[in-house]
Structures are given as structure tokens and as C-alpha cells.
A and B are shown apart, each in its own frame.
Chain A
Amino acid sequence: MGLKRVVIVGASLAGLRAAEELRTQGHLGTITMVGDEPHRPYDRPPLSKQVLAGKKPPESTALHGAGGSLDELALDWRLGESATGLDLGDRTVLLGGGERLAYDGLVIATGAAPKRLPGTDHLDGVHTLRTLDDCQAIRAALVASPRRVAVVGAGFIGAEVAATCRGLGIEVSLIEALPVPLERGLGHAMGAVVADLHRDHGVDVRLGVGVVLIEGSDRVERVRLTDGSVLDVDLVVVGIGVGPNTGWLEGSGLTLDNGVLCDATCLAAPGVVAAGDVARWPNRRFDEVMRVEHWDNAIAMGTHAARTLLAGPAGAESYEPVPWFWSDQYDRKIQLAGRAGPDDTVEVVSGRVTDRKFVALYGRNGTVVGVLGMNQPAKVMKLRSLVEDGARWEQALEVARG
């Protein structure tokens, strides 16, 4: 093995799983893990759910390895430090404090950062949710019994925050510029089901409207919408998407195009791999260059990228996952295996939408591309193989209905 020093930038889920895989595969050299947050890697999904609701303490999000401890990975931590530059020629990573870390192998796992609403930086009470600190700030605001919360953006974060607020008995307006929630992830028809789910639980769902202005003197007081309506609120949570954290790589020579562009094996340059939210790569299974922001992809891609690093270009395998995600909202578990596009055919194959317990298939060009379930985890996982196998649409329907 030619790698002595591995540097992982991003003390994240993807970064940690890469480190774990390096050790599993027998890497005995150093692994330096750089993270700009003060925390060791933690799990983000509970930040919009159990931790935000106060049902679990923040410490419960700490990630551990298969054996239960991170210490066995013997990582050399650089926490609370940002990487500010990369020199591909010298094979060094520059840190904000001035330190230069030399590497033989580099894993880029810097994730993504939430987009902010312009013109709101001077106002208290306007939050995005990505980090543990973000979560605790919003939690503190929820505990203070806000009259109403405006959630801007009905993607996964927004929808989950809205559900958590309702669980706490707090009034919520969920504002989405697109015609339905989760349209990007689930398509129109199933997004409409999610809109109904939120209405069932008393959310004031506002679709097809944007935010004109968030007003207040020091704190947020009102939200003005494009349809002319005005909401009096004490708290705004903005979930309008994320952008990959590639600023530190500007001018490095890596190709940055909505993420770090990798080849099919997760390799971005000789000795450099990328994984998780920050990475974009051609997924040959779907014949699509994708950047996947899901939790499961951070694990799978972090693991794969580590293997690519160890194998070298000649031995590396292409990364061709069937993406998978879940989202818990109220007492419903939404899961999707595969891809769902806006123009896909959607067919419910089991259960009923009105019962909020069903499975639906997504088809494109005569092939099944996705399996969606609401409170049907076993079925989703069993039918996932249809997507893995690239089953024909009619055949998939038959199997799924069987």
C-alpha cells in the first residue's frame, strides 16, 4: 500500500465512514481528520426531528463505529479548523491557522451549506438548519413558545421541521414556491400526498408562493408573500436547499461544477477522492451525473471513495448505487429507493394513498427507476431490487402487485 498519510477534510458522516473503511482495509498510516465545527462527527437526521423536538439530547447524535468507539480508528483530529486551500502539485492541504498538511491520499467530504434568504442577516429569529449548533438555536426558539413559525421551503428539512413544530403544538405555516412539497425528490403526484399529510396535521400549507420580504426591527415579525398575504411570526426556518462547500478548492485545479466533479470511481484528481454532498460523479447505473445529498449516500460514497484511494486508478471500481433516503414526518416514514423525476410515470402498487400507507413505483422509458413507500419499509427494501436490476416497467408492476 503506497499511502502513508491520508487527510480527510470534513469531520462528517462521509468522512468518518471513509476513515473507517481505510482502517477496515488495513491502512496503518496516519489519518488526519479536519473539521470546521468543534464537534466530532455526528448524525444530522435527528437535528430536524428528535433532537429538535427535545426527545433526544444533542449528545445522542455522536457517531460511532461498528465496534462502538471512534478511538479505535486512531484518528488525528483537527477540529474547529477550516481547510482554506489545496495544492495538488505539492499534495498539501492548507488550514486556516496556517498549518500545511501533507498527504498521499486526500478525501474531500466538506458537505454542503444551506442557502440563506437574502436580506435577512440583520434579523434575529431567521434560521437555517444544518449543524448541531443550528439545531440548538432553533430548539431554544421553539421552547420560547413562538406564536407561529414560518418554514420557508418544503423540502425534506422544511417538511420535517414543520412536522416537529406541530408535534410540539406550535402553529406552522409551510411556504413553498413550487406547486407541491418535496417536488424535487418525489415528483408532483406524491408531493401532493405529502401536502395533504401536513394539512391533516394542521399545518397552514402555502404552495406556489414565494417570500417577498421578511420584516422586523431586530427580530423577525412578519413574512410577506408573493400572493400579497402577510404572516405574523416569531420564528422563520429557511430550508431552500444547500450548495456544496467547494469555496476552499477554488483555483486548486479540481473541476468544480455544482460540487467536486469526480470520475465514476469517486476520483477527482490523482490521490484525491470526494464523497457525500460535496461530490458529483457519473452514476453509470442511471446514466446521469449526480450529486446526492442523502444520508445513505454519505456512508456508501465515503466507503467507496476510501476503497478507490487504496486501490489506485487501475484497481478502482465504479460507484453505481441505487440512492435511498428516508424522511420521518409525524408518524409516517417516507422512503424512496432510486430516482424520482418530475416526468416519471407513478403507479401505486400496494396500499392506499388515503390511508397514508402505500407503495408506489416510478417508471421512465419503460423501466422502473424508483420505489416510494409511506410506512412500508419492508416492501420498499424488497422492491428496491427491481431498480437495481433495471426491471421493465410492466414486469415491475406485476412483481410489486404480486
Chain B
Amino acid sequence: MKFRGSAVPPPAPHRLQRSPWRSGVGRNINCPMNRSTRRLLEIALLAACWAGVSAGSDPAVSSAPATRNLRVVSMNPSLTRMLIALDAQHVLVGVDEYSADHEPAVAALPRVGGLFNPSLEAVVALEPDLVVVVPSVQQRDFRTRLRELGVEVIELASVTLDQILESMQTLGDRIGRSEAARERVAAIQSTWIDVAREASLRPRRSAVLVLQRDPLYLVGGGSYLSAMLDAAGLDNAAVEYSEAYPRVSLEWLIAAGPQLIIDSSDDPVPAIEHWSRWTSIPAVAEGRVVAVPQGLVTLPGPYLDRSLRTMVAAIRSVDQDSGASQGAESH
């Protein structure tokens, strides 16, 4: 199965863009109407054009019936990105701080707070039909209050791979983008299979994915990122930790001795330089330390297929470098 690329259908064209009225009002000199009647017609047509144009820019008109007048607030950047990927960003009437800061498509939308400080008032003021959240302890009271006020709240988990795919489908179904969601999910799944098949042709290696150096946070077995490592042909050394992002001691890492270190912390000191101290780690000794930008790999969202490809590319680049140096040594 070939990867087809983004399969989001383009929006239906506005009917009125091809309106005959706009091109030739009052220019047909063969029209037998007198001046005042023509004037009246001009005005009426202009008024109709205005109405038409404004109707044309009404998203409800051109979208599928389920999203007509739907007002959604997103409390999490991964969910915001999902909505954007499903070409449904127009249903958003408010987003959380992080989304507004990091997603240009929604930068102009009203902000409703963040993970630790969601603003009940701001959300309610927007009169949403639906609020989408990621299940979290911090926002539990917030969710309860919203439901009490009669607002629909859907919790969409995005920690494991299965959760992300399921969330995307649920979200797509709810806002009337089921088909788009299905295509996205299928794309991710097919990429996963592709990458896994390619990786099965190579020897497996142990690896860690570092999220933060100090304190040392790694990707544990409970995260979709661990599944990503697995698909890429890597054994996550921290898979024994069932939680998503365990904090471990440097000692543990040295003892675990991974063969590859993927460092996605955003630290001014380059990864290779930072890890070069610990020469007893096989990854460092063999030159297999690779840095990836933090957001690219670690923000769970709709484009996990691209993230996976990026990670694989990074891994292969390191293989090439160290392979070249090993090749040079053998001569």
C-alpha cells in the first residue's frame, strides 16, 4: 500500500463566485430599462451581492451539515492540531494558551488559559457547543463545572499510539469529518507498517529518547513515542517503566548502556557535546547521539507519520556517519 499523502478533501467552491450578476450589471447597453429602474436594480443587485458574499463566507454554508454553526473550544495543542489537520479549524472559537502561541492558524482566536489555569469564565463566554480536552487531573474540576453548566466535554487521550488514533477518529466523527479522520488514521497506520518493515531488515538496537536532560526525563513504555521507537527498529531501554515519561537517574542510563541516544531536549548546549562526557555509554563511544527538535517529535498530534519519518531519517543519518567512520577505520 503506497502512502498517498494528505487526503483532506478541498472545500466546496463558493456558489456565488461564479455568479453572473457580478460581471455585467448595468453594462448591457442593449437593455431597454430606463435610468431609474436600472438604478433600482443596481442597488438591489449590490445588496444581493453583499448578502451573497457574506453568506458565501459563512463556513456553515459550504461545510458538511454536521459542522454548521458548531462552536468548539480546544484545551490542548494536540487536539487543536488534530482539528487543523482535519481542516476543521473554523469550528474553533477559542483555544488554550499553548495552541495560540504555537499554531499560527489559531493565533488570533480568544485564549482560555492553559493546563494549570483553565478559565471557566472565558470558555463559557464563548458559548461553545463542545469543549475538547485531554484527560488530566489538573482540569478535573474544570470539566465537572463545564458539564454542570450544560456544555458537552469530550476527553480525548493522546498518550499511547492507540489512544491518539482513536481520539482522532472520535473527534473526526463528532465534528463531521469522519472521512478525513479515517484517511489520516490510515495514513499513520500505513506509515507505521512501512517503517517497521524497512526496519526489520536491519539489526535491532537499544536506544533512549531523552526529553529533558536535567532532571533526566526519558520516554518510558507508556508513551506513543515508545511505540515509535519500536517501529523504527529500536528497543527502548526505558520500556521497563510503565509510565510515559519517567524521571531516571543518570546512573541508570549509564548502566543501561543504550546504543543510540535521541536527544529532544531544547538546550543550548549541543547534544553531542553534552553526552560526550560519558564515554562508557555505547551510543557515545560509537558516535550515535542524534538531536531532534523538541516539538517535531514530541507533540502528539495528527501527523505522527511525518514525525516517525523524521525520527527514522535522524536515526539513519547517524548510522551513515558512524558507518562512514567505521568504514574509514577499517581501511
The reply to whether chain A is a binding partner of chain B is no
